[in-house]
Every structure is written in structure tokens, then in C-alpha cells.
Amino acid sequence: MAAAGARDDLARGRFITFEGGEGSGKSTQIRMLAERLDGAGLSTMVTREPGGSPGAEIIRHLLLSGMGRLLGAEAETLLFAAARDDHVHAVIEPALRQGSWVLCDRFFDSTRAYQGRLGKVDPALLDAMQRVTIGDLKPDLTLILDVPVDVGMRRAAARRGGGAPDRFEAEDVQFHEGLRDAYRQIAAAEPQRCIVIDANAPVGMVAAKVWRAVRDRFPEVDVSRVANLA
């Protein structure tokens, strides 16, 4: 039985999540990591939360429009949970079973930081929603991209151009400072899973830190196939 379990673990893909405040550069770093993993001969899939599956994308639109805020923090948490349930069962778990490396822009740590720490939602409710939506599924590695709030907000504003800020970008500086602190606390509580990456640096330097963290955590990644990935 042990040998069969070991084979199953090797066949399963790896699950890496990216977390961080607004403007921390998650989308860029996920794309660059996916390119490197593809170059190393690994099947990768990039996804995001809220969203990532047809049903979850509908809920994403509601959440980012501010509808969840009008309903209250608990109701907003339930919307996130519904989106995550669909995303996990329709997209993430099937991809992992097929051996793909899944790279996800936000996962349950975002719910704990945004709705838990800042929305003051009861931890017991968050725990219950986590059990229902993800069960035993947890990321193999979580990379928390950390930037000063003023830097992140400038990046977010530049990214959206003349567009209006979304539900979370529109929050005040105190909110975003609390968010940064919440992520640091999550990393301190689970150092075996979480690695904080200083993302207040040029994109290439941040990507090198991300790649080093992935290689350290997953020695099975064969970079010899592509020389410039070492």
C-alpha cells in the first residue's frame, strides 16, 4: 500500500498559490513561473480566484462590483466559498489528478486575510467554509508577494489606467496596511507552506526569487533540460 501511495503522490501535480495585496505583481509572476515550468517539461495550468471556472467567474463579477459588500461580510464570505467550491471541483482537482502543476492567483489565504482579519468574520465560519469547499486540499507551496502599500497602490492605479478601482482597490490605506500585516501573520503561522517574497524590486529579480523558492521546495523540477532556467 505504501508503494502505491508513493506512486500516486508522484503522479499528482503540484499546487502553488500566489498571495499578496493589490499591485503586488501576482499575475506577472505567475505567468513567468508558468513559462519556466513549461520550459522544464512540466504541464502547467494558470487559474485565479475568485473565478477560474464558469460558475465562479459569474460570482467574481458580483464580488468585484461591490455587491458582496452591500450584503455584509458573512454573505460576501459565502459568495467566495461558493466560487471556490466550483473552482476546486471543476478545475483544480481534475488538473492535479492529471499531473498538471496548478498555479493559482489567490486561494483561501485571501479569504482569511480579507474577510477574516479585515472583515472580522468569525474564524469558526471560515473554518467551516474551508472544510466544505476544499476538504484536505491545501497548496503545496504558497508564495506571498510583499510590497509596501504605497507601491502596490501606485502599481494598481497604473494597471487600471483610467478605469474605476474595484471593490478592494477602492479601500483606504489603513485597510491595505492591515491586509499586508494579515498576510505576514499567515506566513509566520505556516512557515512550512508559506514563503514571503520581497516584491519591491524589478520584475526579473522577483521572478528569480520565486524560481529559487520553487526549486528549493520541489527538487524534482529538472532544470537541466533548459539551460537558462538554472
| In contact, 64 and 56? CB cutoff 8 Å | no
Can you list the positions of beta strands (E) in 89-210? 101-105, 141-146, 194-198
Q: Where are the domains of the chain?
A: 15-47+101-215
| In contact, 185 and 119? CB cutoff 8 Å | no
pLDDT tens digits for 177-202?
Answer: 999 999 999 999 999 999 999 999 99
* Confidence (pTM): 0.88
pLDDT tens digits for 145-173?
Answer: 999 999 988 888 888 777 776 667 677 78
Report the SS3 class of residue 162. Answer: coil
Inform me whether the pLDDT recorded for 3 exceeds 60. no
The better pLDDT of the pair 220, 164 is held by 220
**Average of per-residue pLDDT across 199-223:** 93
Please identify, in words, the CATH class of the domain defined by 15-47+101-215: alpha beta
Can you list the positions of beta strands (E) in the chain? 15-20, 44-48, 101-105, 141-146, 194-198
The better pLDDT of the pair 69, 86 is held by 86
Inform me whether the pLDDT recorded for 112 exceeds 50. yes
pLDDT tens digits for 9-47?
Answer: 546 899 999 999 988 999 999 999 999 999 999 999 999
pLDDT-based confidence at residue 5 (cuts at 50, 70, 90): very low
Inform me whether the pLDDT recorded for 210 exceeds 90. yes
